[in-house]
A and B are shown apart, each in its own frame.
Chain A
Amino acid sequence: MKVWLMLLLLIYAGAGYSQTVVVVAKNSTIELLNDQDIANIFLARTKRFPNGEKARPMELKNKEMRASFYQQISGKSLNQLNAYWTTLVFTGKGKPPRPYAKVQDLLEKLNRQPGAITYLPQARVTAKMKVVFSFP
């Protein structure tokens, strides 16, 4: 019985470990966003947070995490997303979030750049960040 409970706890902890959250810097004026705010910002439909502050979305160059995130906020596959970005980029109407290959560079930018916002696995959240949205 105890073994089964341990297994259940591990499974539950694992789900939280891989859950994606959207974060801003700890000192950001943004407290909470909804799923539409997230979609509008990360799909370049707006350049501002709801309070009018300039939003600077950024992301890790992690294909699996990107695929999962954009599937959740837009229903688009990565193939569809790339075509979407192409129509915006080459008409000058928007561009994708700035990509970072290294987590350290992303986190440094998050803390340093006003308006920076990104998404990470829950396990990557530190005391220097604030979670403004969690996927169910």
Chain B
Amino acid sequence: MHFISITLFIRGIFPLLIAFLGCQSPVSATSWQENLYFNGFFTLDITRTTKELGIVGAAGKFRMYQEGEVNIKNSLIGGQLEYQFNDDLTGFIQGAGYFNTSGDVSASVDWAYMSYDFGADTQVRLGQFQIPFLQGTELRKVGYSRLWTRPLIPGNGASGFNDYLGVELLKQFPGDGDYWELQLAAGEVEHELAEMQGDNMELLSLRYGQKNIWLRGALMQADYTLALPAGLGGADEVVMGSVEGEILLGKYRLNLGYSHSHADFSLDDTMHYASLAYSRGNFTPFLFAARLKLDFNNSLPGEGALEEPELIQLVAAQGDITLSSVAAGVRWQMTEQLVFKVQLENLGVNDEVQLEADSVVDGGNILTLVLDGIF
């Protein structure tokens, strides 16, 4: 089935299918209130930088901070509603309110799907999802889920592809002391830039876990069209891979991650991260180091003359920009639902491109205080 047909099916037939399935067999002996679940999350993020910096945004895209400015622009609040129609069919919707890159309050629906349990630990889900490329890309807005104040992912998530409309197959293999989880996804992907028109996407993710370790790998391929003025751009595909994992050694916790994306027209990016934490009761001090390399050595097809200076510079850019981050912090579990984090980070920039765009322009120090909660 062509992927365009899948999205048409989801948009057009999906509501009728859900209404039909929802009428089949209600959950036995329960009221509708017992079938409805709500979970919420929030982040109050207070950040101060010593220089003008672009910082990974929990709600997508870099957030620009002015020198010496104290700002809460990376704060957000969100929630999830889950309704269990019957033993096998469940509906989810999840979204958040946050400050966009202009500083205005905005909101988004990040997940909206129906899930059907076929038994044998197999589910099929239809709808809208966050791309399961890295744990931080799926759970970007849920600060409580991570040790650090910000997700350790490339600043643009999965190369700017944040969500997609399609179908997912989830298959769990619970074992004797370990487990596997297979996730297959396909659909129409959306990019956060207006100039990048996402198209078909396929993704395979495999996760393995034991008591003290989990490992996850993902491979993704997405088609897209880059449309710049003056007829520049065209159809292209991006291929991405990621590996990440966590190891618990007594009170120590080690997290490692790697991702790489390649496309002919848009930026390639490569990211590594490593984090070491030590649990002392409700306090978990941590160190992390992360490195993100943006490769500007791509060429654009098409002929034409751009007029905007920023675009001209961007298209002609050759070389790498490398962002290196080292940080120390502590996570304090105040209550079961509330954590407080402090993180001092040094961001270094090695800019071969000398790109004067509205992005990270120089290195500096970042102090972040975060209150993450779930409710």
**Which 3 residue pairs across A and B have the least CB separation, nearest first?**
A40-B174, A45-B174, A86-B145
Q: Is the CB of B333 within 8 A of A79?
A: yes
Q: A90-B94, A112-B29 are in contact. Are A48 and B39 (CB under 8 A)?
A: no
Pick from B39, B120, B138, B176: contact of A36, CB below 8 A: B176
B256 nearest CB across to chain A (Å): 17
| CB-defined contacts of A95 to chain B, threshold 8 Å | 37, 82
Q: Is the CB of B120 within 8 A of A91?
A: no
Residue B5 CB within 8 A of the other chain: no
What are the interface flags for B270-293 relative to A under an 8 Å C-beta threshold, 1 for contact and 0 otherwise?
A: 000000000100100000000000
Residue A93 CB within 8 A of the other chain: yes
Residue B142 CB within 8 A of the other chain: yes
Interchain Cβ contacts under 8 Å between A and B, 6 examples: A36-B176, A77-B279, A86-B144, A92-B94, A92-B113, A114-B28
Q: A36-B177, A91-B132 are in contact. Are A78 and B80 (CB under 8 A)?
A: no
| CB-defined contacts of B139 to chain A, threshold 8 Å | 86-87, 90-91
| CB-defined contacts of A136 to chain B, threshold 8 Å | none
Q: Is the CB of A87 within 8 A of B113?
A: no
Interface size for A (C-beta < 8 A) is 27
Closest chain A residue to B110 by CB distance?
A90
Residue A16 CB within 8 A of the other chain: no
Residue A128 CB within 8 A of the other chain: no
Residue B135 CB within 8 A of the other chain: yes
Q: Please report the C-alpha to C-alpha distance between residue A77 and residue B179 in the assembled complex, in whole angstroms.
A: 20
Which of chain B's residues 190-219 have a Cβ closer than 8 Å to chain A? 211-212
Residue A134 CB within 8 A of the other chain: no
Residue A1 CB within 8 A of the other chain: no
Pick from B41, B172, B175, B337: contact of A90, CB below 8 A: B41
Residue B87 CB within 8 A of the other chain: yes
Residue A122 CB within 8 A of the other chain: no
Q: Is the CB of B145 within 8 A of A90?
A: yes
Q: Is the CB of B172 within 8 A of A46?
A: yes
Q: Is the CB of B135 within 8 A of A46?
A: no
| CB-defined contacts of B116 to chain A, threshold 8 Å | none
| CB-defined contacts of B99 to chain A, threshold 8 Å | none
A121 nearest CB across to chain B (Å): 21
Residue A83 CB within 8 A of the other chain: yes
Q: Is the CB of A92 within 8 A of B117?
A: no
Which of chain A's residues 3-62 have a Cβ closer than 8 Å to chain B? 36, 40, 45-48, 52, 54
Closest chain B residue to A53 by CB distance?
B119
Q: Is the CB of B177 within 8 A of A89?
A: no
Closest chain A residue to B127 by CB distance?
A92
Q: Please report the C-alpha to C-alpha distance between residue A123 and residue B67 in the assembled complex, in whole angstroms.
A: 63
What are the interface flags for B125-164 relative to A under an 8 Å C-beta threshold, 1 for contact and 0 otherwise?
A: 1000010100100110010110000000000000000000
Q: Is the CB of A83 within 8 A of B145?
A: yes
Q: A46-B172, A74-B211 are in contact. Are A40 and B179 (CB under 8 A)?
A: yes
| CB-defined contacts of B374 to chain A, threshold 8 Å | 82, 86
Pick from B39, B172, B248: contact of A89, CB below 8 A: B39
| CB-defined contacts of A92 to chain B, threshold 8 Å | 80, 82, 92, 94, 111, 113, 115, 125
A106 nearest CB across to chain B (Å): 14
Residue B104 CB within 8 A of the other chain: no
| CB-defined contacts of B282 to chain A, threshold 8 Å | 79
Residue A126 CB within 8 A of the other chain: no
Closest chain B residue to A73 by CB distance?
B211
| CB-defined contacts of A48 to chain B, threshold 8 Å | 119-121
Residue B308 CB within 8 A of the other chain: no
Q: Is the CB of B174 within 8 A of A91?
A: no
B116 nearest CB across to chain A (Å): 12
Pick from A47, A91, A113: contact of B29, CB below 8 A: A113
